[in-house]
Amino acid sequence: MAASAIKTSGLSKSFGRGAVRAVRDVSLEVPAGSVFGLVGKNGAGKSTLLKLISGLMRQDAGTVSVLGRQLRPCESDPRLGVLVEAPGVYGRLDAFENLMNRALVLGLPDPHRACREALAAVGLDERTAGDGRRRLLWPRGTYVDDLSSGQRQRLGVALALLGSPEVLLLDEPLNGIDPAGAAELRDLFARLSRERGVTVVVSSHVLSHLERICTHYGIMRGGALTRTLTAEELADACATYLMLRVDAPERAVAVLAEELPGLTVRVLPDDALRVSAPGGGEPDRAVLSQVLLAAGIAVTELSVSRPDLEAELVRAIDGAPGEKDR
């Protein structure tokens, strides 16, 4: 498998004679086997980017490669499983019939089995009810038009899974699904990546949908990919740290680097110091203060900050000023 499951270079798309730039010069690499969370507010360009990658839309500029193969504009790679915006279904067929239609188009060797497995994977198979009886979460023969939004969304994921794709592109796949069902699908995405090496790209503006499963993140804002980071980098950014204000910031950095080399010290734009310990633990405030006072550096303010993942992603999405290392 290629090192990058998806690679784009300078990908751009505008609408209305260039009046609206939905995707702006996006160069992205999605590692093979990762669960990649594409994060951004509504209108950030996530859906358009996934359409360009999947071949559902022609780009104005740039290139798309899937598993090492560069695609022509509007070309779809058969190794992709795609759910972008609403699932493409026939409203007057039931869920199984929709899956069979897709399975036959794909030429799957055992379409009945493939459809049953896809339904089971997304929780639309037979389940044991609380009274011990078997029941269907969707009534066989019920038109898709009559299913709930959550059931339709599960069906969309099932359609994307047919054919055992190597890469899944899922646009807001948990919209309209109850919390228990969302947890089941998140677990499915993580297992596909962990056990089968499937690359999963999942977009969302609901950060809680992503934080438990993603290995990598891409932040989109105004059509541009503004930042990419790993889950480890995000966890580091969310580690507990001390915020210090001292009368000699530059000298304080040098003293701490010499006396307490295990700490990470960053100088923020307002000259406050952010001090974190290895592994995300809280630095020893007493030791820190003693070292600085012994060097003749007065500590004028000291506080503990415990940011969380969602707050850090919101900060990245909103474009808050970054920190600088010194």
Q: Which domain holds residue 74?
A: 4-234
Which H or E element spans position 275? strand 273-276
Q: 143: burial class by Cβ within 10 Å (0-12, 13-18, 19+)?
A: middle
* pLDDT, mean over the chain: 88
CA distance 189 to 167: 11
- 41 plus 174 within the same structural domain: yes
Give tens-digit pLDDT for 36-90. 999 988 889 999 999 999 999 999 999 999 999 999 999 999 999 999 988 889 9
pLDDT of residue 126: 62
**271 vs 234, higher pLDDT:** 271
Q: Are residues 229 and 268 in the same domain?
A: no
Q: pTM for this one?
A: 0.78
Do 175 and 266 reside in the same domain of the chain? no
320/46: higher pLDDT: 46
Say yes or no to pLDDT of 236 above 90: no
Last residue of a domain, one of 214, 234, 254: 234
Rounded percentage of the chain residues whose pLDDT exceeds 90: 63
Owner of token pair 């990546």: 193
245: exposed, middle or buried (Cβ count in 10 Å: 0-12, 13-18, 19+): middle
d(CA 267, CA 246): 11
Task: Give yes or no for a contact between 159 and 88, defined as CB atoms under 8 angstroms apart.
Answer: yes
Q: Cβ(138)–Cβ(147) under 8 Å?
A: yes
**Cβ neighbours of residue 25 under 8 Å, at least 6 residues apart?**
10, 11, 12, 61, 62, 224
Q: pLDDT tens, 272-308?
A: 998 988 766 788 889 999 999 999 999 999 998 876 6
DSSP class per residue in 48-86:
HHHHHHHTSS--SEEEEEETTEEEPTT---TTEEEE-SS
Q: Which residue has the higher pLDDT, 251 or 277?
A: 251
Based on the fold, state whether residues 204 and 251 are members of the same structural domain. Answer: no
Where is pLDDT greater, at 171 or 306? 171
- Report if residue 320 sits inside a domain: no
Q: Binning pLDDT at 50, 70 and 90, where does residue 225 land?
A: very high
Query: Does 249 share its domain with 281?
Result: yes
